[in-house]
Structure 1
Amino acid sequence: MNIVNREKRQIPEILDKYADHLDKLIDMASTLLDKYLQKNALGDDKLVAILFFRNALEYADSISILIRNSSIEPIKAINRILLENLLQLEYLLDCDTERRSYAFLVWMLKQEIKIYKKIDKNSLQNVHFKKKISNDKLIKDISVFDNIKVEAALERYSEILKIDGYKEANIEYEKMKSKSNAYWFSLYSGPKNISELAEKLNRSAHYEIFYRNMSNNIHGTDIFKNKLVSKQDTGLTHLLKLRNPHEADIVLKDTLNFLFSMNLIFLQKLIPEETESFGVWYLSFQDFFINLGKKEDFAVIK
């Protein structure tokens, strides 16, 4: 038995409708992003919110592709990414945005520096790195790194960290660098982890209900739920075929909620002058958004 269902004729037509509506929200988000870019949002610190938002759109767009092909289960893992994007974007734009943006930029550079130091033949980190590689089952040769100009990269990053904005955030980062799992939002006495971040933003329900439940999808341990089906007439248990549309409306609802929340945050914090036009657009979207999974028109027939 081939458990992969690639027959288009077996994919419910409603899934195209689902994807079309998600595309409408993505297109609106793209319009908001373009409006903000037209405001001449210059400066490295301005890029952080822009790229968080763009990142969310890219993942949401991939969900649209998956929905059209009835590949529903993997969307749960992507929704977890969207939720993390939502929490971080909201924290970034909540207040003190410039300082928080530089905190992210410095944290990001520090992650890059850690990687370069691992492949720097003159570093202690390289000794530990080579030892780990030598124990790998498949990868033994790391000569691929020999042509990377490590010194030039590290020197370039060192110069960036001397620039105003970066310099202050770097000083703060150095205070907490001993905490190896520290997040960028932990700088300046910020939340220590995602749970605290959600609590600070009054989104603890998002963490407890969505984030925790989606963790198994991220870590590859959600292997039982919606994977088996029992036949009442025979008493036998069978594997469900891949590309089963079951729960399409549920996972799409999560996607829409997370992306819609990011739209509102981006709109209110960066381009409030577009609020009226967004409201007009929403009138054409709200029926689907509110009634997804409730109306027969918007439900997957199993």
Structure 2
Amino acid sequence: MSSAQQDTEQLCVNTIRVLAADAVQKANSGHPGMPMGAAPMGHVLWSQAMNYSPAHPDWANRDRFILSAGHGCMLQYSLLHLTGYALTLDDIKNFRQLHSKTAGHPEYGLTPGVDVTTGPLGQGFANGVGFAIAQKHLAARYNKPEFPLFDYHVYAICSDGDMMEGVTSEAASLAGHLQLGNIIYLYDDNHISIEGSTDIAFNEDVGKRFEAYNWHVQIVEDGNDLNAIAIAIRNAKAETQRPSLIKVRTQIAYGSPNKVNTAGSHGSPLGPDEVIEVKKFFGFDPDKSFYIPEEVAAFYHAAGEK
């Protein structure tokens, strides 16, 4: 990849981060930290990994995406808008407003491109296992030699909170037992909950637990490393006999000088002054809100049409 391409992709990631900060601040409600930390994962999924069609959001063989960490929905909304789904910038500006398409958590049937309603932690994780079972059933029923009508993957981004839930353990056990190699889950491992560090309630080795469930587990140590995330996803696609978990070490509210790696960025706006500092950190004009650079718009437009 050329340095110019790298610069464009990094600008794409940072645009998602700034959009999330702006939208949550305008609504004066929401969760800015998760989208800012997980933006590289979202970027790689929508620009490289997933097969989807914004013009045909119900395409039967599309890859499914589930934001199990539904509180971080500005990540998903930003990418749906940027890649060309029927979600406008005005919809982004109306985040969390009455009758808006951009509710405080993703809602199936309300927002184009959202495949499942999420919010209760662990629910989206389990929904994805059901989606993966459905794909296996459809493939067994309708696929023919050289005509794989149904060969899609099920992707999800999950949080520390998801991993704490009992329903996640039950669904993960079933997925491993059924050898659902069509599951690729990215674990946003930022070690922060709304109460503070996850150490106050949760210190187990999640990777070892999932290996015991018969999952293929990989670790990406730097959640800002786009290439490492892309390689891990490619490796996961190559694993067809086990579901895959990619544990990605991230920093919640990355780019926020005073709230990065703190619970203060989890469920509250950053504050007007801190949003200005975020924009300065990423080289954006602090006087502009909901700004999308032309090269970012062009990049995602091309990704959505691939």
TM-score bracket, shorter-length normalisation: under 0.3
Give the number of the structure whose residues are more often strand, by fraction.
2
Q: Relative CO higher for 1 or 2, CA cutoff 8 Å, sep ≥ 6? A: 1
Q: Taking structure 2 as the reference length, what is the TM-score of the superposition?
A: 0.26
Considering fraction of residues, name the structure with more helix.
1
State the TM-score, normalized to the length of structure 1.
Answer: 0.26
